């Protein structure tokens, strides 16, 4: 009988260039050896919520319970988010800014991922195709999402020998009249870098010269533990308009709560009549909203979470970053160019000439999973081949165990003299 079904799906989606980090990690995880009695050490994905020591604050949990129990938030939310949430987020971000954001500058999203989707869709333009400048190494969701939104991607390099700062000269050379925005991720994923105020100002001045927006992914805001304090890009919003993206996923360690935001940091109101804000609200209208009861809990989550909670998390990450950096640099075939000062990640470079029968970062990660039950992310998944991205957001003993296994693996595979 003739087949009349026509379920082909959108073929173009299969052509999307950059795989999402999760896709690469699940490929690596399929290589785990089920007969290994040792526990698997997950140094691939940045979600420490599985570790009891990274449990979120009690006040955040209480806020959610109260919100649900009130029975007042079982309703739909407006597409831009409910006012108390927008106000609380505006106040929270304003604490670190030289001007005050109004609730009207804030749009609530389902996590930072949704914020990225909305902003990239809002700035895309099809004829002529707009382009966007993304960091390399970076967070590949931007690349993938840009491909879905008909945005051309151009990659600028981060410089490992300069603490992963932006190569601003190269960035300038990439831009043309169709460039609409550049993305920075600070504190950095995957590099663990934290930019100084001076560097952020230079970024702002460069973007101004090019006439482009800065999209500042600050999902790791305040997760810093080195000598450089966190400074929001919005500080320089009077030099260049900044769209700040964030969420509670990382600082509160609740990525499953799906609560994020877009904040328009533009004290000179350059964007007011640009169409961009209209596009963002338009995109939000045809998209799903963050759960109302989570939004309603936001004012309490922000206000009631004690400084102790943040200090404990930052101390744990500080200790973990030191262990990670020191242990990795003891391994001859691995080099970390700079000690992580923020976020939950470090980039480590492989010297493959010291290893036998390992041709690249993917093979390294696959064999490491199989032989040692340790998961790391091959650098190709963040745009840097033959590097690894390692997360140190796990309890210190698992981390030491995992790094010890990586060392054993490298010794076993070392080229014989
Ligand atoms: C985790 C992460 C996100 C996504 O955050 P969610 O709030 O979980 O959606 C966005 N950007 C970067 C750089 C991240 O590491």
For residue 201, give the CATH number of its domain.
3.40.640.10
* 62 in the same domain as 49: no
Which residue has the CA at smallest separation from atom 13 of ligand 1? 189
Regarding the beta carbon of 189 and ligand 1, being less than 6 Å apart is answered yes
Regarding the beta carbon of 56 and ligand 1, being less than 6 Å apart is answered no
Residue 349, in any domain of the structure:
yes
The Å distance, Cα 244 to ligand 1 centre, comes to 13
Residue 53 contacts residue 263 (beta carbons within 8 Å)? no
Residue 232, in any domain of the structure:
yes
CA distance 186 to 242: 13
Residue 29, in any domain of the structure:
yes
Residue 8, in any domain of the structure:
no
Residue 6, in any domain of the structure:
no
Nearest atom of ligand 1 to the alpha carbon of 246: 7
Regarding the beta carbon of 246 and ligand 1, being less than 6 Å apart is answered no
Regarding the beta carbon of 382 and ligand 1, being less than 6 Å apart is answered no
Residue 77, in any domain of the structure:
yes
The Å distance, Cα 270 to ligand 1 centre, comes to 27
Last residue of a domain, one of 252, 285, 304: 304
Residue 217 contacts residue 247 (beta carbons within 8 Å)? no
* 66 in the same domain as 44: no
Confidence at residue 149, expressed as pLDDT on a 0 to 100 scale: 85
* 62 in the same domain as 48: no
* 252 in the same domain as 315: no
* 205 in the same domain as 146: yes
Residue 1, in any domain of the structure:
no
Structure tokens belonging to residue 178 = 């169709």
CA distance 372 to 179: 45
Regarding the beta carbon of 190 and ligand 1, being less than 6 Å apart is answered no
Confidence at residue 147, expressed as pLDDT on a 0 to 100 scale: 87
Regarding the beta carbon of 247 and ligand 1, being less than 6 Å apart is answered yes
Confidence at residue 374, expressed as pLDDT on a 0 to 100 scale: 97
User: Counting Cβ atoms within 10 Å, is residue 225 exposed (0-12), middle (13-18) or buried (19+)?
Assistant: buried
* Probe target for ligand 1 pocket from 118, 247, 259, 381, with the most ligand atoms within 8 Å of CB: 247
Confidence at residue 299, expressed as pLDDT on a 0 to 100 scale: 98
* 113 in the same domain as 241: yes
CATH number at residue 34: 3.90.1150.10
User: Counting Cβ atoms within 10 Å, is residue 80 exposed (0-12), middle (13-18) or buried (19+)?
Assistant: buried
* 75 in the same domain as 165: yes
* 62 in the same domain as 51: no
Regarding the beta carbon of 257 and ligand 1, being less than 6 Å apart is answered no
Confidence at residue 157, expressed as pLDDT on a 0 to 100 scale: 97
Which residue has the CA at smallest separation from atom 14 of ligand 1? 219
User: How crowded is residue 59: how many other Cβ atoms within 10 Å of its Cβ?
Assistant: 16
* 216 in the same domain as 153: yes
Among 143, 189, 147, 128, smallest CA distance to 164 is for: 189
Regarding the beta carbon of 109 and ligand 1, being less than 6 Å apart is answered no
Sequence-ordered list of residues with C-beta below 8 angstroms from that of 147, at least 6 positions apart, any chain: 15, 16, 17, 18, 153
Last residue of a domain, one of 247, 277, 304: 304
* 76 in the same domain as 153: yes
Helices (H) and strands (E) in the chain, counts: 12, 14
* 351 in the same domain as 237: no
Nearest atom of ligand 1 to the alpha carbon of 260: 7
Confidence at residue 326, expressed as pLDDT on a 0 to 100 scale: 96
Range of the domain at 194: 58-304
Q: What are the distances in angstroms from CA 130 to CA 205, 271, 380?
A: 21, 17, 25
Which residues of the chain carry a pLDDT beneath 70? Answer: 1, 6, 8-19
Last residue of a domain, one of 281, 304, 327: 304
* 319 in the same domain as 246: no
Pairing of strands 213-217, 152-159: unpaired
Nearest atom of ligand 1 to the alpha carbon of 116: 10
Domain tally, the chain: 2
Regarding the beta carbon of 140 and ligand 1, being less than 6 Å apart is answered no
């Amino acid at each position: 009988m003739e087949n009349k079904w026509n379920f082909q799906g959108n073929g173009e989606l299969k052509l999307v260039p950059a795989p999402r980090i999760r896709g690469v990690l699940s490929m690596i995880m399929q290589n785990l050896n089920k007969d290994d009695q040792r526990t698997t050490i997950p140094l691939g994905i940045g979600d420490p919520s599985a570790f009891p020591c990274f449990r979120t604050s009690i006040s955040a949990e209480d806020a959610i319970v109260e919100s649900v129990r009130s029975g007042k938030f079982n309703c739909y939310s407006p597409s831009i988010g409910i006012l108390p949430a927008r106000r609380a987020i505006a106040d929270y971000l304003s604490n670190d800014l030289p001007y005050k954001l109004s609730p009207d500058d804030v749009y609530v999203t389902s996590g930072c991922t949704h914020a990225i989707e909305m902003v990239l869709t809002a700035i895309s333009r099809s004829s002529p195709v707009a382009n966007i400048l993304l960091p390399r190494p970076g967070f590949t969701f931007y690349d993938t999402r840009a491909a879905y939104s008909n945005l051309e991607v151009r990659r600028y390099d981060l410089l490992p020998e300069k603490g992963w700062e932006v190569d601003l000269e190269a960035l300038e050379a990439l831009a043309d009249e169709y460039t609409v925005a550049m993305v920075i991720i600070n504190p950095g994923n995957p590099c663990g870098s934290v930019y100084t105020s001076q560097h952020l100002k230079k970024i702002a001045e460069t973007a101004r010269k090019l006439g482009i927006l800065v999209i500042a992914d600050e999902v790791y805001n305040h997760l810093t533990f080195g000598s450089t304090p966190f400074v929001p890009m919005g500080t320089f919003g009077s030099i260049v308009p900044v769209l700040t993206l964030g969420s509670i996923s990382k600082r509160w360690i609740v990525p499953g709560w799906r609560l994020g935001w877009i904040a328009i940091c533009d004290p000179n109101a350059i964007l007011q009549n640009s169409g961009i804000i209209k596009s963002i609200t338009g995109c939000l209208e045809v998209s799903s909203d963050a759960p109302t009861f989570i939004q309603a809990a936001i004012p309490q989550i922000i206000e009631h979470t004690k400084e102790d909670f943040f200090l404990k998390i930052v101390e744990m990450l500080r200790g973990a970053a030191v262990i990670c950096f020191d242990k990795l640099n003891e391994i001859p075939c691995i080099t970390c160019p700079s000690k992580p000062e923020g976020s939950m990640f470090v980039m480590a470079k492989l010297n493959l000439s010291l290893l036998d029968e390992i041709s690249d970062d993917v093979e390294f990660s696959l064999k490491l999973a199989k032989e040692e039950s340790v998961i790391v992310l091959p650098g190709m998944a963040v745009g840097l081949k033959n590097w690894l991205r390692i997360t140190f957001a796990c309890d210190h003993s698992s981390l030491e165990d995992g790094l010890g296994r990586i060392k054993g693996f490298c010794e076993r595979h070392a080229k014989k003299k």
